Amino acid sequence: AVISPSRGEITALVARAAVLAKADLQTEVVGEFPELQGAMGRKYALLQGEDASVAAAAEEHYKPQGPSDRVPTDPVSVAVALADKLDTLTGFWAIDEKPTGSKDPFALRRAALGVVRIL
């Protein structure tokens, strides 16, 4: 019996999760109820027959959203969450937008703190 997936299997799951991570943002449900982003991504992924780790990553890659929010622990979710947050940070750094405590309209400070908490 296989206890955990191999590195190649995890890589494939991470790649699939990365493709589906933001798919729920295009749905009418999330358009109408933005607080359901992530949760609907998980549900849609499960309904499509995706692996449970891929579905979990669709929801958990947004975490942590605050200091009291839990961090993802599934390896697929951790990889996608880090990639998403680092992509956001590097993209905004490239246009010279830095996270600050006083004003943070793009949630860059939260993304940076999320990276630190995940690591």
pLDDT tens across 58-114, in order? 999 999 988 899 999 999 999 999 999 999 999 998 998 876 667 777 888 889 999
Q: Specify the pLDDT at position 2.
A: 52
pLDDT tens across 34-65, in order? 999 999 999 999 999 999 999 999 999 999 98
Helices H, strands E: what count in the chain?
Answer: 6, 0
**Res. 16: pLDDT tops 80:** yes
Q: Is 10 exposed, middle or buried (0-12, 13-18, 19+ CB in 10 A)?
A: middle
| Six-digit token string for 92 | 């905004």
Rounded to two decimals, the pTM is: 0.87
